[in-house]
Amino acid sequence: MTPALATLVAALAAAGPAPARAADPVLEPVRLAPRVWLVQGDPGVASAANRGFNSNAAFVVTGDGVVVIDALGTPALGRALVRAIRKVTRQPIRRVILTHYHADHVYGLGALKAAGAEVWASGEGRAYLEGDEAAKRLEQRRKELAPWFDAGNPLFPADRWLDADAAFELGGARFEVVRLGPAHSPEDLMVVLPDDGVVFSGDVIFAGRIPFVGEADSRRWLAAIDRLLERRPKLLVSGHGPASRDPATHLALTRDYLRHLRAVMGAAVQDLVPFEEAYAAADWSAYAKLPAFEPANRINAYGTYLTMEREMLEAGRR
């Protein structure tokens, strides 16, 4: 445990009794392909109303065990995910692959590890776990989603950190784990089932809602989308929203939104227009009615403004 996390755990222990734990959610897995299942989160941001269930997790049932992609956003959801898998199969849960270390994808890891799963993640995730941001976000989520958190620490390091792409076979299914970051996060991964034509994109693709961008490297994010398309998936399973058998259309929202942010904020930076003025003048009508627009769009725009400033400074040094 890092010093920052140790401090947080001690502070939580000293804060007194935790709120009563609510009943765990019930998740209904949906079959997408012969061996691929999805539990789909609500649109929008994590909240008490949706019990933190705003992201997706998927699992692949092979002849020799289950591989899970992402772990959802609370310990309660992690337990519910294990129960959802058990509705489908009694095969052992062999592995969980994290597409990235954001809060809505990792806090359910404890239940999966207790079920015997080995955790894989991109090596860049080490820096997140060792930094202050992990402890701050955990404290925030504990407060916002207290009834669905336990007293223990839900953050776990990977059992295998991937510093290069990886591939493996399990029970007749071939898996490829491809490093895409930095994009939405520094540690983005996608998981590919090449024989099935399935790609699990994580949050490189958001479907049906505004992506969370912040200060992500949107230029490389767009390049990551192009790399994903090179796989020509027949089925695309995104980190948020429904899966799709029309991947090119499905990813258009994320790609078009990133391009719009970069065009609007890039022009403002080029013309020395202050952020507030540029934001007020921008046309957001294509996105304003989508889930997560209100909490995310201004943050995304400001983060992109800073990104475009950095890119311009870097270009000037060449």
* 314 backbone dihedrals φ, ψ, rounded to 5°: -65, -40
Which of 144-158, 212-226, 230-244 shows the lowest mean pLDDT across its residues? 144-158
Coil, strand or helix at 250 = helix
Tell me what percent of the residues of the chain surpass a pLDDT of 90.
89
The pTM of this model reads 0.91
Q: How far apart are CA 303 and CA 279, in angstroms?
A: 12
Q: How far apart are CA 23 and CA 304, in angstroms?
A: 40
Determine the structural domain holding residue 93 and report its residue range.
Answer: 3-317
Q: Is 293 exposed, middle or buried (0-12, 13-18, 19+ CB in 10 A)?
A: middle
Mean pLDDT over 217-239 rounds to: 97
Q: How far apart are CA 302 and CA 253, in angstroms?
A: 19
For 27-69, what is each residue's pLDDT tens digit? Answer: 999 999 999 999 999 999 999 999 999 999 999 999 999 999 9
264: nearest Cα among 301, 306, 294, 318: 301
DSSP 8-state class, residue 259? H
For 174-199, what is each residue's pLDDT tens digit? Answer: 999 999 999 999 999 999 999 999 99
Strands (E), 83-206: 93-97, 118-122, 160-162, 166-170, 173-179, 189-193, 198-206
Domain CATH for 83: 3.60.15.10
Cα 183 from chain centre: 11
Q: Based on the structure, what is the number of domains in the chain? A: 1
For 230-258, what is each residue's pLDDT tens digit? Answer: 999 999 999 999 999 999 999 999 999 99
